[in-house]
Chain A
Amino acid sequence: MPNPGPPTRYTGVAQTFHWIIAGLVVTQFILGWTAVDLPLGMHKLALLARHKSVGMTVLMLAILRLLWRLKHAPPDLPTAMAPVERLLARATHVAFYVLLFAMPITGWMMSSAKNYSVSWFGLFTWPDLIGQNETAFNVLKATHDTLSFVLFGIAVLHVLAALKHHFWNKDDVFVRMLPFTKSERR
């Protein structure tokens, strides 16, 4: 049997994590940015309840994804990429991992600080991370809001970069994260 050599594609598990988490994060932007402008009422409560349940799901998936990532090296970046491009790609991916933890954790702490405990789809309630504290809530909310814009910014950058790799550079950077495809272009 030939030596398989370094991986040329992301594993099926990594692809699954990527696309499920991407879908959930888009859901989070819709729920969160819709709820933030509503007055306190049933509609806001319902949207935020879903936002929190999905957020905790993202946190659990992020933990599993990070564990998987530590054991399974991703494929190398194309050799044609300039050092600055490599740095940017690397920084974006690290920022994603940081934010996949920072967003749910700041959100969870916000809920605790405002004395609205986090339920997971009504099945069970997560413990409060901190005690009720209005100042902490305001700081955490500002942080959560700001990070949401940072996340949105790097997500846009990430999508544009994937499209550039696919259509401009014509390499396999995008395709190797796509399930049910084969990487042929290099």
Chain B
Amino acid sequence: MMGRTCLTGRAAVLAAILVVATATHAAGPVPSYTADPAASRLEFAGSQAGAEFKGTFRKFSAAIDFAPDSPASARFDVQIDLNSLDTMDKDRDQTMRGPDIFDIAHYPTAHYVTRSVAKTAAGYSAVGALTLHGVTKDVPIDFQFVSGAQPKIEGTAKLKRLEFGVGQGDWKSTEWVKDEVKVAFSLALKPRS
């Protein structure tokens, strides 16, 4: 009984590898890009004391495999340097880097990697795993592909900061700082060498 379970398990893993390999192969070569840092942006908007405030992450890197016709083989892998956050107020930036919010001493980066991408009526949608503050959770994104001399991927996402433990102590309260955070990005694509 034990042996059979083990064998079945191995077979399943093997099958899975085959399926993945076949899928990748069947999709054919998909262009690989990075985000041009000078022309790309990654912004977030939170709500504080009833008013929206915006910030950006100045440093992030992205590896993007994307072809408009084969969303199933698309893959985004984005690494964000949380220390590069900028909300246009040094005091707020320092507080956000601190132990009760992003705690960048322990969690300096956030990482997003897509698991599935699909075409929608309005563009594309993706589901990916966001690792932030040591917590990994699925975050869906909606995006558009803008073709041109420098193609772009532009999109939005919504997430709840407290699901990632972003906000400890007093900051766990949502009375003055809302749970929901909006994210907007525009990635200017350049071919990956």
- Assuming the A-B contacts A114-B89, A115-B89, are A42 and B171 also in contact, with contact meaning beta carbons closer than 8 angstroms in the complex? yes
Within 8 A of B (CB), among A2-53: 40-43, 45-46, 48-49, 52
Main secondary structure of the interface of B (DSSP, over half): mixed
Give chain A's interface residue range (CB within 8 Å of chain B).
20 to 34
Residues of B160-193 at the interface with A, using a CB-CB cut-off of 8 Å, are: 170-171, 173, 175-177
A115-B53, A116-B49, A117-B51 as given contacts; A42 in contact with B91, CB under 8 Å: no
Interface residues of B in 55-94 (CB under 8 A from A): 87-92, 94
Interface size of B by Cβ–Cβ distance < 8 Å?
21
Q: CB-CB < 8 A to A46: which residues of B?
A: 49, 175-176
Question: A86 to B50, alpha carbons, bound, how many Å?
Answer: 45
Segment touching B, from A66-74, A119-127, A168-176: A119-127
Q: How far is the CA of A134 from the CA of B90 in the complex (A)?
A: 9
- The residue in A116, A120, A132 that gathers the most chain B C-beta atoms within 10 A of its C-beta is A116
Instruction: Point out which of B51, B54, B173, B175 has the most chain A C-beta atoms below 10 A from its C-beta.
Output: B51
In Å, the complex CA distance between A48 and B49 comes to 9
Q: Judge whether B91 and A125 touch: CB under 8 Å.
A: no
Bound complex: CA of A49 vs CA of B178, how far in Å?
Answer: 14
Q: Complex Cα distance A49/B52, Å?
A: 13
